Structure 1
Amino acid sequence: MFVLSAAQAHALLSAARRGLNNTGALVDVGAGDGEVSRRFAHLYTNKYATEISASMRKALSGKGYTLLDTEDWWREQRFDCVCMLNLLDRCSKPRSMLRQAKTAIAPDGVLLLALVLPYKPYVEVTSDHKPEERLPIQGVNFEEQAASFVQFMRDEMGFEAVAWSRAPYLCEGDFAQAYYWLDDSIYVFTPIRE
């Protein structure tokens, strides 16, 4: 899978922070094998990950990630960058995950988020493959859905968009096709502190 190059991630993250200084902590939530965030994890001193797959957890350990519990990762530690890359449309409770991310972000930290648009959630762990919590994304095209998502993040979740991009997302295919090329909306959000 490919989401962001190191240069793209650096440009997006630099827009939110006054220069990256290779310090702090990053957590990749639902990291898979860590290949996506590996391209920019070096921008942070400490790198953490959550993942439910045992084989992926083993791969992450081998790449230098400290593994955190998938249920409690957000409770104790604060991170300079919380990554949720192509996760919200594949998890059962995306609103809950966003609330957890907001709690886990350190002062002056960011949420780096990628979401495939058009929004078509598919959850492997539910019997009907539908999320328990659905994001209220409206619109018929990429631009309308991206604007709707940014509005939802601000009004309901308390995040301000400071940078965004549209990029092709190349992911593994299935029996019908070797790989898929989807449209990814990529955002850097900062929490709106009350």
Structure 2
Amino acid sequence: MTGSLAEKVLYVVDRWLGRGSMFVLSEAQARALLQRANVGSRGFGAVVDVGAGDGEVSRRLARLYENKYATEISSCMRKSLAGKGYTLLDTEDWWRGQQFECVCMLNLLDRCTKPRSMLRQAKYAIAPGGVLLLALVLPYKPYVEVTADHKPEERLPIDGVTFEDQLSSFARWMRTEAGFELCAWSRVPYLCEGDFSQAYYWLDDSVYVFKPIAI
């Protein structure tokens, strides 16, 4: 068994056993971040978590909305999401024909092949007055499982060395090129259950609330 295949098998087994759970925001933190963006917690409408995994990262903030949707390519993760009350959407066409009060892309852009395309899709899918809730680990180090060289087909043009420099670079590009206005942001630890050698792992996560800029 190759190392990459072994890692994939271990990942699936961990998910089935409920191990390796990740944490970004609590419900209270998500509510506060949305309120800072003058969105509030209206308790209605729809939220979609794109690339949701097992749904543990988004399940707390999903309670702020009446209807919750998700996309995920892994079959075992899709079963987990369905069991948690998510309505599953097609991974290619999720953004067509329906709009959402909140589109979540939580630690997705550095793990997908075409992050710029994903952002364009998100813009189409956000309802009037809705937001994009986005999390991105900084420093930016994209790693894609499905490509031979593990590099994305599209790379985000994030410059700088420090967390602050890269955050400013990303927010500037989101406004000038992607067409999103930054409304609120926070720096949080991205936590993951550990293993025999370490109790937990953490990374620096930048979390943003963006609104599409009206054309």
Give the structure-1-normalised TM-score.
0.96
Deviation at 1:51, TM superposition (A): 0.3
Within a 5 Å distance, the mapping from 1:62-141 to structure 2 comes to 62-141=83-162
Change (3 A) 1:167 1:159: same
Please, which of 156, 168, 171 is the counterpart of residue 192 of structure 2? 171
8 Å Cα contact 2:31/2:40 also seen in 1: no
* Aligned-pair CA distance for 1:42: 1.1
**Superposed displacement of residue 166, structure 1:** 0.2
State the AA in 1 paired with 2:71: T
Report Cα offsets for 1:22-59 as digits up to 9, x if no partner: 00000000001111111111110100000000000000
CA distance in 1, matches of 2:172, 2:70: 28
Shift in CA distance, 46/123, structure 1 to aligned 2, threshold 3 Å: same
What is the identity percentage for the equivalent residue pairs of Structure 1 and Structure 2? 78
Match for 1:98: what amino acid?
A: L
Cα distance in structure 2, aligned partners of 1:17 and 1:138: 29
Using structure 2 for the length normalisation, give the TM-score: 0.87
SS at match of 2:174: helix
| SS of residue in 1 equivalent to 2:184 | strand
Look up the SS of the partner of 2:159 in the other structure.
coil
Task: Give the corresponding residue for 1:27.
Answer: 48
Q: What is the match of residue 7 of structure 1? A: 28
TM-superposed deviation, 1:17: 3.5
The one-letter code of the counterpart of 2:176 is D
Q: Distance in 2 between matches of 1:174 and 1:97?
A: 32
Q: Please tell me the root mean square deviation across aligned C-alpha atoms, in Å.
A: 1.4
Residue aligning to 1:184 = 205
Given candidates 58, 61, 66, the residue that maps to 2:79 is: 58
> Unaligned 5+ residue runs, structure 2?
1-21
Q: Is the 8 A contact 1:22 1:44 kept in 2?
A: yes
Kindly state the Cα deviation for residue 14 of structure 1 after the two structures are TM-superposed.
1.5
- The answer to whether 1:40 aligns with 2:61 is yes
Larger Cα-atom Rg: 2
Shift in alpha-carbon separation, 1:93–1:178, aligned structure 2, 3 A? farther
Give the distance between the partners of 2:196 and 2:94, measured in 1 at CA: 35
Which 5+ residue runs of structure 1 have no aligned equivalent?
Answer: none
Q: Give the conservation status (yes or no) of the 8 Å contact 2:193–2:200.
A: yes
The 4+ residue runs of structure 1 with deviation greater than 4 A are 172-178
